Structure 1
Amino acid sequence: MRRHGPGGLALLLAAVATSAVQAQSLEFWPELQFQYRYDDRSKLIGMLALARDIDELSVYQAEQGLLVEHIFADWFRGRLGYRHASATDGGPFSENRLLTEQTFRVFAPAEVMVDLRTREDFRWLNTGFSFRLRERLQAQRDMQWRDWTFTPYASAEIFYDTRYDQISRLRFVGGVALPVGAHFTVEPYYALQPDLAPQPALVHAVGLVLTTAF
């Protein structure tokens, strides 16, 4: 991965600023998750997600996947999974992805939990194989209103892509997880995504994750 000193950081910030004045889009990212816990520390996670361009009123990508998660300790958990994505608008894009994740959790003051997640994406694309490294920092805190507990969070993520040998994407997310009964969670969020490669672009996305857990 390229290292960014003061000059590199300035260039990275300049690229982000440039992306803001280049092509911009507004998208909707709905997702369904199905979680099955088969012991106290392990669960299976199935997912189905779509990406919809609100301006064009069209769905352009669909993704399906299956993950297994294991909690090794209160401060560390891991995931291993597979995802398949493809274009739904007639485009050539297709992807088979093997992914691994390692998440370290720090219990900060004021009952704030801070997660540092590293994800490795091994991607077989229609254009060939590539590797993507993703580093995400997320802070969250459980909040209480009467007998109801909900969890607001905010995160920042960096994507490094071997196709371009550089940081290709940033993603900033703010949202809240809202339990509905014992087995369902609704999670609305907003994402700001500056794409730096191959072309500067800026994506504003409204996401909604619906989770069923047993």
Structure 2
Amino acid sequence: MDPDTPAFDSRPFDTALAEAWIRAVAAAVDQEQSRLTELDSAIGDGDHGSNLRRGFTAALAALDGLHPTGPGAVLTKTGTTLISKVGGASGPLYGKAFRAMGAALPEPAAPATVAEALSAGLDAVRLLGKAEPGDKTIVDAWTPALAAFRAAAATGATLAEAAAPAADAAEQGARDTVPLRARKGRASYLGERSIGHQDPGATSTALVFRALADTTTA
């Protein structure tokens, strides 16, 4: 494939795919709410699952009344809703991430452009949370997911072909938080006691990337 030619599969990242992604995230959060809550109960406030479920349920309601002009509008509305509806740290972090991605996505979006949008989302999380890889946060799943997505996109992969390894990398990144000591957020208050627990934020990030992979192959 000519490297200067944008790679599009049968489902480019357009408005319909953006909406499908958010609905898939909402469904995944609803299904995994108890697990997220269990993880957060061990090293946090125990509300990560319920907070995200409330936020994405509100996002779906907001999208039902929206007539978006492109995928960016879908993600921006999702982010704004999460900020306004979700308590704790997860609302602002995911909200800022989705708003940043929305601002970075024109229509239609080739995989390389989606990679840059995902990068903008990670930058927003890091800026707000002041977190780096190894701090036992969302960043520990998002960083390897972005690297995998970007690497695949650089080879001319389709959106689905880039999203699948990104989801795998996010899930591995979440698992890799188990031996880490938390340095940011509520879990950092536990010090050494945070070791041995999987980070709930990294786990929900893995759900976000798996939802993207599932949506692009549906």
Per the shorter chain, which TM-score range? 0.3 to 0.5
TM-score (norm 1): 0.33
Structure number having the greater strand percentage: 1
Structure of greater Rg: 1
